[in-house]
């Protein structure tokens, strides 16, 4: 830093100086130290002074901010290693082709949407990464992970077009994926979606805020794999290009301290600060770059500000009085946006005209030159300097705050305009102006007709483009779809106790933990198991695993735990296997996603088990689970303490009665609600084989209960029906002739109420009752939908019958009860050709005993008996007096409001 630079920085501080002479002496001393000993010594002295100034007697707290200038002075920039002219031409081509693709789509179908302005602002940030930093992994794995700003997806397609990975016909089907399939070409998804483009996009970033938190936990999971000796991740980086408006999402900011705490220097964020969100300025009356600098620096990140382009270097050099820095310190983002939207003449008058010092700096510049003064995020040389510094940073993550103009180059049609985010169509004169702005090789007619520009294969531009990607390992983005299969141990090796339970009492949560312990000991699969908890391991009975496999901690355990002599001692280790995420479901599911997609991202199949309070899953982090589904995650989500009446005492906020219904909405999620440990064991075995051996892109959500009860031995011939979602558990017959017959269907713990109800019906009411265990109403519904569709589309073929209809169709009434809202069983029972009554736990939870809760929600054995008798009354099998007698015998309240009204 030069003496002049020090003067400029200090001049920006708006503090009244009571002793200017003394202050000047301090500045002179600092400048002399810098000249004599260099910047490293200056930093050391300043750190010492700062430590002393924090003494309570002084009470000094530093501001988390620096002047509104670049963090890397021009004199410290590394040489630009590329061909600047060619890279600028390539960036111009990307901008044009991205614009043409979006505008063409909206000229054809105005409803399609798309975005031009975001990529216009981010193009140079992307291109420096593509040409110099983003390393591909190729077939052997490795390489960098890149999270792309979703609204800039058209620019990534434009690059893939020049690379030859996408054709013009593909570009013609931007946001037209269904039509593309009919035309035999590739449709391009609106945003990055691995489900829709499985060999192209790696990470779904379309839901704002999820890309940032996911990138942090992906970087952390890379370290986890390395520290456990499973993968060499040396030199690999995680890059995230995000928007400044996106930083307002809680998920964007919630894990910043984790990244710093774990010293994730493999993580680099580039925040595209174009100062605008969808409707207007991000911080119209403030400065988002200053705000983000303080937040990231306070969280422990290295902050690199990339504010002004090279055109400003000469102005700063001539500004001996610090007028520029002082003016920037007073200029808010709303005004900077106005400057971006206006031309050079306006900026001369309204920016440089603010005082004589600024006006003098602008002398000699034409209005056009003022108009072309670049912000830092549009200057390839400045961007390279920032990326170069970030890539070599050690000991902490880095964020680059890059100032750009939204709609850069769109002129009056969009640059800096409030409406630019919604701009999807451009007029002829706007297109020609854009052509002129970036000196594109297009005639007026070619520009007006939105012709794509692709240089010849042997042109300097394309040779350069391919050479740069070859030097960095290949093209990006690119996604691996498969990995080496992992053998799954025989079920009997870890789950025989559940299959042959013989009446032993346990909860399904206890059964899972025991099976997990067995899987961890398997030589082939064990190292790939990733147990994940959000600070509830002791609640779920997993504390014994602390000592067995250890809790992952990047720097090991530097203290002696108070329970060190215990069999369940809290053991942290650098190679620990458990990911203990603290009270952060968003963080835990981000870790789960990283592990569940490791087969694709790293070529390392892992098997994550994330166990949590079921209420705090889909309801709290449903958007992240949806994104994991988009990313083709493979693993188990385990909703523990599940069921609205099974988690006694905890009350309204904890008692889950709808997570299974939410899970059923996700196409590649297989949701189950098993009552018995044997059922769970069959589901676990089946899921592992589908995901690890067959490598299907599915994941499982299974509820686990904390209620202990006698576990029966699972009949050997029901495993297939357990997976299908329904099997016949048993039957109760009266001692004499039956007056009627019913089918009782129960899921989860409420199956036990159905079993008890069948006994009451047979003993007290002379009714025969079949009992059916419904392990998954959503799987039953999935197959029923498929059968119904097949029958509709094949009218001349013999109709098929779904499993649920095969089991339950007929005269006997069906009464179904679960610990969840009625809509969960109704997914499947709507297809049944029989009288159906559904009982469920619609409404808010309560704090009480399980028995009281089941009575309140009308899902206990007595309510099931009453429902069965009522169904038989409707069929003429019993009279109304029997129903009234049941109400009296069981003390059922008839005048209370419904549970969902209370």
pLDDT, greater one: 508 or 49: 508
What pLDDT is recorded for position 420?
67
**Residues 273 and 337 sit within 8 Å (Cβ to Cβ):** no
What six digits make up the tokens of 649?
A: 């005492």
Q: What are residue 838's DSSP bridge partners? A: 816
Q: Where are the beta strands (DSSP E) in 134-197?
A: 145-147
> For 375, phi and psi rounded to 5 degrees?
-85, 160
Q: Where are the beta strands (DSSP E) in 134-252?
A: 145-147, 238-243
For the chain, the distance separating the N- and C-terminal CA atoms, rounded to the nearest angstrom, is 69
Question: According to CATH, where is 3.40.50.920 located in the chain?
Answer: 729-901
The model carries a pTM of 0.94
What pLDDT is recorded for position 716?
87
CATH superfamily, domain at 84-309+374-471:
Thiamin diphosphate (ThDP)-binding fold, Pyr/PP domains (3.40.50.970)
What pLDDT is recorded for position 547?
92
Evaluate if residue 63 carries a pLDDT over 80. Answer: no
What pLDDT is recorded for position 139?
60
Q: Which of 306, 246, 305, 251 is nearest to 277 (CA)?
A: 246
pLDDT tens-digit map of 195-224: 999 999 999 999 999 999 999 999 999 999
**Residues 434 and 409 sit within 8 Å (Cβ to Cβ):** yes
Question: Buried b / exposed e across 701-712, counting CB within 10 Å, b at 16+?
Answer: bbbbbbbeeebb
Evaluate if residue 808 carries a pLDDT over 90. Answer: yes
The pLDDT of 323-343, averaged and rounded, is 93
pLDDT, greater one: 1 or 356: 356
What pLDDT is recorded for position 15?
57
| Of the candidate ranges 135-139, 238-242, 619-623, the one whose mean pLDDT is the lowest | 135-139
Which H/E stretch holds residue 34? helix 20-37
Could you count the other beta carbons within 10 Å of the beta carbon of residue 161? 23
Distance CA 776, CA 778 (A): 5
244 marked as part of a ligand binding site: yes
What six digits make up the tokens of 19?
A: 């002793």
Distance CA 245, CA 248 (A): 6
Which H/E stretch holds residue 778? helix 777-793
863 marked as part of a ligand binding site: no
What pLDDT is recorded for position 417?
82
Question: According to CATH, where is 3.40.50.970 located in the chain?
Answer: 84-309+374-471, 491-542+578-711
Cβ-based burial of 872 (10 A; exposed 0-12, middle 13-18, buried ≥19) = buried
pLDDT band with cut points at 50, 70 and 90 for residue 137: confident
Strand-pair category, 767-774 with 726-732: antiparallel
Instruction: Give all strands of the β-sheet with 607-613 in edge-to-edge order.
Output: 579-580, 529-533, 607-613, 636-640, 699-703, 669-672
Share of the chain above pLDDT 70, in %: 98
Cβ-based burial of 338 (10 A; exposed 0-12, middle 13-18, buried ≥19) = middle
pLDDT band with cut points at 50, 70 and 90 for residue 64: confident
The pLDDT of 290-295, averaged and rounded, is 96
Query: What are the counts of helices (DSSP H) followed by strands (DSSP E) for the chain?
Result: 38, 20
pLDDT tens-digit map of 414-428: 787 877 677 777 889
Chain-centroid distance of CA 524 in Å reads 29
Cβ-based burial of 368 (10 A; exposed 0-12, middle 13-18, buried ≥19) = exposed
**Residues 674 and 702 sit within 8 Å (Cβ to Cβ):** yes
**Residues 865 and 871 sit within 8 Å (Cβ to Cβ):** no
What pLDDT is recorded for position 141?
62
pLDDT band with cut points at 50, 70 and 90 for residue 442: very high
Task: Map tokens 């920085």 to a residue.
Answer: 9
CATH of domain 729-901: 3.40.50.920
Evaluate if residue 261 carries a pLDDT over 50. Answer: yes
What pLDDT is recorded for position 413?
78
Cβ-based burial of 17 (10 A; exposed 0-12, middle 13-18, buried ≥19) = exposed
Helix (H, G, I), strand (E, B) or coil at 302: strand
Residues present in the chain in total: 902
pLDDT band with cut points at 50, 70 and 90 for residue 7: very low
Distance CA 684, CA 307 (A): 53
HSE value, Cβ hemisphere, 13 Å, CA-based, for 729: 29
pLDDT, greater one: 251 or 11: 251
**Residues 561 and 571 sit within 8 Å (Cβ to Cβ):** yes
pLDDT tens-digit map of 378-398: 999 999 999 999 999 999 999
What pLDDT is recorded for position 798?
98
What pLDDT is recorded for position 443?
96
pLDDT tens-digit map of 838-875: 999 999 999 999 999 999 999 999 999 999 999 999 99
pLDDT tens-digit map of 176-188: 999 999 999 999 9
Angle formed by the axes of helices 750-765 and 880-890, nearest 10°: 120
pLDDT tens-digit map of 679-714: 999 999 999 999 999 999 999 999 999 999 999 999
What six digits make up the tokens of 605?
A: 């199949």
**Residues 190 and 196 sit within 8 Å (Cβ to Cβ):** no
Task: Map tokens 């558990």 to a residue.
Answer: 729
pLDDT tens-digit map of 485-515: 999 999 999 999 999 999 999 999 999 999 9
Q: What is the mean pLDDT of the chain?
A: 94
Distance CA 473, CA 117 (A): 30
HSE value, Cβ hemisphere, 13 Å, CA-based, for 60: 10
The pLDDT of 644-665, averaged and rounded, is 94
Distance CA 431, CA 826 (A): 55
pLDDT band with cut points at 50, 70 and 90 for residue 11: very low
The answer for 695, left when phi > 0, alpha when psi is -120 to 50, beta otherwise, is left
pLDDT tens-digit map of 14-48: 557 899 999 889 889 999 999 999 988 998 998 88
What pLDDT is recorded for position 3?
47
**Residues 762 and 733 sit within 8 Å (Cβ to Cβ):** yes
274 marked as part of a ligand binding site: yes
Evaluate if residue 144 carries a pLDDT over 70. Answer: yes
Evaluate if residue 282 carries a pLDDT over 90. Answer: yes
* Range 491-542+578-711 has CATH code 3.40.50.970: yes
């Amino acid at each position: 830093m030069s003496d002049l630079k020090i003067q400029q920085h200090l001049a920006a501080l708006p503090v009244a100086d009571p002793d200017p002479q003394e202050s000047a002496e301090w500045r002179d001393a600092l400048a002399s130290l810098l000249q004599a000993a260099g910047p490293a010594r200056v930093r050391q002295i300043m750190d010492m002074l700062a430590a002393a100034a924090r003494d309570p007697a002084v009470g000094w707290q530093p501001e988390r901010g620096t002047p509104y200038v670049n963090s890397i002075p021009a004199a410290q920039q590394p040489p630009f290693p590329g061909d600047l002219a060619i890279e600028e031409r390539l960036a111009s081509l990307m901008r044009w082709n991205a614009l043409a693709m979006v505008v063409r789509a909206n000229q054809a179908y105005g409803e399609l949407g798309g975005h031009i302005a975001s990529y216009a602002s981010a193009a140079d940030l992307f291109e420096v990464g593509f040409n110099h930093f983003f390393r591909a992994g190729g077939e052997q794995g490795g390489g960098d992970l890149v999270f792309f700003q979703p609204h800039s997806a058209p620019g990534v397609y434009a690059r893939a077009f020049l690379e030859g990975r996408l054709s013009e016909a593909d570009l013609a089907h931007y946001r037209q994926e269904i039509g593309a399939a009919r035309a035999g070409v590739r449709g391009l998804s609106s945003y990055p979606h691995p489900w829709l483009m499985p060999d192209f996009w790696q990470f779904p970033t379309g839901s704002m805020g999820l890309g940032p938190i996911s990138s942090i936990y992906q970087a952390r999971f890379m370290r986890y794999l390395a520290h456990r000796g499973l993968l060499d991740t040396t030199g690999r980086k995680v890059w995230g290009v995000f928007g400044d408006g996106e930083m307002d999402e809680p998920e964007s900011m919630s894990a910043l301290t984790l990244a710093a705490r774990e010293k994730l220097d493999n993580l680099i964020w580039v925040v595209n600060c174009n100062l605008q969100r969808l409707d207007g300025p991000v911080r119209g009356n403030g400065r988002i770059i200053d705000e983000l600098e303080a937040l990231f620096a306070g969280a422990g990140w290295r902050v690199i500000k990339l504010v002004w382009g090279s055109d400003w270097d000469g102005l700063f050099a001539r500004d001996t009085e610090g007028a520029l820095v002082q003016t920037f310190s007073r200029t808010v983002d709303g005004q900077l946006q106005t400057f971006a939207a206006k031309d050079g003449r306006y900026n001369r008058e309204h920016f440089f005209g603010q005082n004589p010092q600024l006006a003098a700096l602008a002398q000699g510049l034409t209005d056009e030159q003022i108009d072309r003064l670049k912000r830092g995020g549009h200057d390839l040389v400045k961007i390279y300097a920032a990326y170069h510094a970030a890539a070599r940073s050690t000991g902490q993550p880095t964020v680059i705050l890059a100032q750009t103009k939204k709609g850069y180059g769109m002129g009056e049609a969009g640059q800096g305009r409030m409406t630019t985010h919604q701009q999807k169509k451009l007029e002829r004169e706007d297109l020609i102006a854009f052509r002129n702005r970036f000196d594109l090789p297009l005639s007026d007619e070619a520009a007006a007709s939105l012709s794509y520009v692709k240089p010849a294969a042997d042109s300097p531009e394309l040779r350069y483009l391919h050479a740069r990607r070859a030097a960095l390992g290949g093209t990006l983005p690119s996604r691996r779809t498969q990995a080496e299969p992992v053998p799954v141990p025989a079920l009997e090796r870890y789950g025989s106790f559940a299959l042959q339970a013989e009446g032993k009492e346990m909860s399904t949560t206890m059964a899972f933990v025991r099976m997990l312990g067995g899987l961890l000991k398997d030589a082939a699969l064990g190292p790939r198991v990733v147990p994940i908890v959000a600070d509830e391991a002791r609640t779920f009975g997993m504390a014994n695993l602390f000592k067995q496999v250890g809790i992952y901690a990047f720097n090991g355990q530097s203290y002696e735990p108070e329970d060190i002599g215990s069999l369940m001692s809290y053991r942290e280790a650098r190679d620990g296997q458990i990911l203990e995420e603290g009270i952060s479901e968003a963080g835990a599911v981000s870790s789960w996603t990283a592990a569940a997609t490791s087969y694709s991202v790293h070529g390392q199949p892992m098997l994550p088990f994330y166990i949590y309070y079921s209420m705090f899953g889909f309801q709290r982090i449903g958007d992240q689970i949806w994104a994991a589904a988009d990313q083709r995650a493979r693993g188990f989500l385990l909703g523990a303490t599940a069921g609205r009446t099974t988690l006694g005492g905890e009350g309204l906020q904890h008692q889950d009665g709808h997570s299974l219904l939410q899970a059923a909405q996700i196409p590649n999620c297989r949701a189950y609600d098993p009552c018995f440990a044997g059922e769970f064991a069959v589901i676990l075995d089946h899921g592992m084989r589908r995901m690890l051996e067959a490598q299907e892109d599915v994941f499982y959500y299974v509820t686990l209960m904390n209620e202990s009860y006698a576990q029966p031995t699972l009949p050997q011939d029901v495993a297939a029906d357990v997976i299908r979602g329904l099997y016949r558990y048993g039957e109760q017959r009266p001692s004499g002739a039956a007056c009627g017959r019913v089918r009782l269907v129960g899921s989860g713990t409420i199956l036990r109420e159905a079993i008890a109800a069948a006994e009451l019906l047979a003993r007290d009411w002379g009714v025969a009752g079949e009992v059916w265990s419904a392990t998954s109403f959503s799987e039953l519904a999935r197959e029923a939908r498929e059968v119904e569709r097949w029958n509709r589309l094949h009218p001349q073929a013999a109709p098929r019958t779904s499993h649920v209809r095969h089991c339950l169709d007929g005269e006997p009434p069906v009464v179904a009860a679960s610990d969840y809202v009625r809509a969960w069983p109704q997914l499947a029972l709507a297809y049944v050709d029989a009288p159906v009554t559904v009982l469920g736990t619609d409404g808010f939870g309560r704090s009480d005993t399980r028995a009281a809760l089941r009575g309140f929600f009308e899902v206990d054995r007595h309510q099931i008996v009453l429902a069965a008798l009522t169904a038989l009354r409707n069929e003429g099998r019993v009279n109304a007096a029997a129903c009234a007698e049941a109400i009296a015998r069981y003390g059922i309240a008839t005048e209370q409001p419904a549970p969902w009204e209370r």
